[in-house]
Amino acid sequence: MGRKWKKFEDFLYRETVLFFLIIAVIIFASLVRIYCIQAFYIPSASMIPTLRPWDRVIANKFVYNFRQKPQRGDIIVFRAPANPLEEMLYTKRVIGQGGDEIKIRGGTVYINGEGLEESYAKGIPEDYGPVSVPDGTLFVLGDYRDYSNDSRDWGPVPVDEVIGRVFYIYFPYKRMGRVK
């Protein structure tokens, strides 16, 4: 009976170690997803040509949780400001920050009176503004200006609603790489 008991103890020890290892991996993966990075997909054409519909991207959550605030030019993922009950997420480019004055004239975006160079932008948006961006908020636009639902429609985005900065396309494989 001693030999069978020893085999059972060895089996129980291995299963216990494996159980705790699996729990540790689950906790680690959850912490990474909550605080560091998260995968998203792009559901619309509002960010063409930078991001295309159904692109799969990775957003860095760590950078905004612990280090810096969103900067002009960053592509961010954020919760829908138009309807707080809706769990919809948007992906847009930061154009203005708190204190900026934004206007669009003749297809050019002006920030505090200076024209913004935007090699990534597509389309010619209608004239808009001027509007002042309140402190603690961001003015965001899609890169495909004619097709985008953005701050021109529902106003500035509270910085607290920003989830992370998109930095990498991982699918489709032909487009895999860093996002600029």
Q: DSSP states of 64-121 as a string?
A: IIII----TT-EEEEE-SS-TT---EEEEEEEEETT-EEEEETTEEEETTEEPP-TT-
Min mean pLDDT across 16-20, 78-82, 118-122 is at: 78-82
The model's pTM is 0.82
DSSP 9: H
| Per-residue confidence band for 86, with pLDDT thresholds at 50, 70 and 90 | low
- Domain count across the chain: 2
DSSP-derived 3-state class of residue 59: strand
Whether the pLDDT of residue 83 is over 70: the answer is no
Range of the domain at 9: 1-35
Mean pLDDT value of segment 41-70: 89
Whether the pLDDT of residue 152 is over 80: the answer is yes
Q: Which residues contact 127 (CB under 8 A, 6 or more apart)?
A: 103, 104, 105, 106
**Same domain as 156, residue 92:** yes
Active site members: 46, 92
**Same domain as 128, residue 53:** yes
Mean pLDDT value of segment 23-39: 86
Residue 170: which of 48, 51, 79 has the closest Cα? 51
Structure-token pair, residue 111: 């920030």
**Same domain as 60, residue 13:** no
Mean pLDDT value of segment 44-55: 93
* C-alpha span between 47 and 63 (Å, rounded): 22
Structure-token pair, residue 110: 């002006």
